[in-house]
Amino acid sequence: MDDTNPQSSYRVTADELRQFIERFERLEAEKKDIADQQKEVMAEAKARGYFYPQKNVI
């Protein structure tokens, strides 16, 4: 069987694309988790009296 047939090429391309999408989705989830953690840290700092209107100055 010839490995250069279009069906095997499409399957490899589809698998590779699926992997890219899955990696991207994992990174998006991690990004959301990090943003949530940042919010928690800022809320804790505010609760301790360290709140500044320009919180991104750090």
Each of the 58 residues of the chain gets a pLDDT tens digit; together they read 455 676 777 778 999 999 999 999 999 999 999 999 999 999 999 999 987 666 565 5
Total count of domains within the chain:
1
In terms of residue numbers, what domain contains 40?
6-57
CA distance 14 to 20: 10
Residue 32: per-residue pLDDT: 98
Is 25 a member of any domain? yes
Residue 7: per-residue pLDDT: 73
Is 35 a member of any domain? yes
Residue 28: per-residue pLDDT: 99
Residue 10: per-residue pLDDT: 73
Is 1 a member of any domain? no
Is 33 a member of any domain? yes
Distance of CA 55 to the CA centre of its chain: 23
